[in-house]
Amino acid sequence: MPNDSPRNLDHLLDDPAFRRWVYAPTEADEQHWQTWLNHHPGQQAVVEQARHLLLNVRGELPNLPDDELSNRVADLLEQADETPARVLPLRPRWVWYAAAAAAAVVALVLTWATMRWGLPGSQDSEAGAVVRQVMVVNQTGQPRLVTLSDGSSVILQTGSRLTYEQPFRPDSRRVWLEGEAFFEVTKNLHQPFRVHAGRQFATQVLGTSFRIRAYANETSGVVVVKTGRVAVYRDSTFARAPEAVLMARQQATVRDKQAVMPVAATQTLPIEQQTFQFAATPLPQVVRALEAAYGVTISLSPALANCTLTASLGDEPLPQKLHMLTTAIDATYRIDGQQVRLEGAGCGVK
């Protein structure tokens, strides 16, 4: 019988019994996990996401266009506000595919702010931990990866500054950006992710991938959405209706007293063009692709050099991508600033 306590995503991905149920389920597995879900209906979304990630690593899920995923998610989120939570049947499998794809993308909300928003001093969070401000200034001449405490990835462009709360407060995750950065936000419906972007505007997201440009010496800001959906607000309280909604692969320029008009995205960073599609790809080649996208150095233990990977990775932050990768090859990973180390016994010769 599965562990009766609630699980998070990492726990499920690490659980051999859960992986066996996903990859080679028996009738007993189906009955056990259905019983567990009946006792924990609130875990449906995380189970669907974990199942989606594991199947995607094996290359068993169909690839859907970002805009189709965004539309499905929008519909499901609207229904979720009106429909009580319920446990979905485990079959047929197409139900899992649709629900898992929806779990992979959530809505994104943008808001305007004014320059009167400053950084608060350190203070106690609701959980009792002292919240402090951490500042990262990128003067390296190349993009720099910043991994936040919730697992979100920020690729900070050169000449830019990011300040974030450590740890995040229970009710929100707040960062301040001056310059340009690409965000891959860990999905958390109960803890919105808020980016205060220079003097121009602020954003609030639940989990998605997007880029913000907001330099102090520029009078406008730019938002480019890779995955998800973005609503643009001028009211910092989110009380008024949005001025525009950006879908995947759209961008908008935000200027004072001018309408916000979504247009097809034309400004892209290398990671925004990266699809991370691998089919029996040697692990060293996968590593090179991740290094180029995230600006990190990844080292392998020699035994892993003969491993191959079949996977379709999406907008997950780098730690989640590494977790999926190492789960597939029975390895481990460690992130230390800009250095990543993968270790394992190897994949053997089949």
Which pLDDT tens digits describe the chain residue by residue (350 residues)?
455 666 777 778 778 888 888 888 888 888 888 888 888 887 887 788 788 777 766 544 444 454 444 444 444 444 433 333 333 333 333 333 443 433 332 222 222 232 333 444 545 554 556 778 899 999 999 899 999 999 999 999 999 999 999 889 888 888 899 999 999 988 888 888 888 876 667 777 767 788 888 888 888 888 888 887 777 776 655 566 677 777 788 888 878 777 777 778 776 666 666 678 888 899 999 999 999 888 899 999 999 988 988 888 877 889 989 998 898 888 999 999 889 999 999 886 44
* Residues spanned by the domain of 330: 274-344
- Dihedral of the alpha carbons of 336, 147, 211, 141, in degrees to the nearest 10: -30
Is position 116 within any domain?
Answer: yes
- Do 203 and 292 share a structural domain? no
Q: Which two tokens stand for residue 72?
A: 């499905």
Output DSSP code: residue 126.
T
CA–CA distance, 41 with 163 (Å, rounded to integer) = 37
- Do 191 and 70 share a structural domain? no
Buried-exposed string 96-129: b where 16+ CB fall within 10 A, e elsewhere: bbebbbbbbbbbbbbbbbeeeeeeeeeeeeeeee
Is position 140 within any domain?
Answer: yes
CATH number at residue 285: 3.55.50.30
**Of 231, 295, 296, residue with least CA distance to 269:** 295
- Do 89 and 124 share a structural domain? no
- Do 94 and 119 share a structural domain? no
Is position 233 within any domain?
Answer: yes
Q: Kindly give, in sequence order, each residue whose CB lies less than 8 Å from that of residue 52, ignoring residues fewer than 6 positions away.
A: 61, 96, 97, 100, 101, 103, 104
Q: Which among 64, 82, 103 is the end of a domain?
A: 103
Global pTM value: 0.61
Residue pair 66/336 in contact by the 8 Å Cβ criterion: no
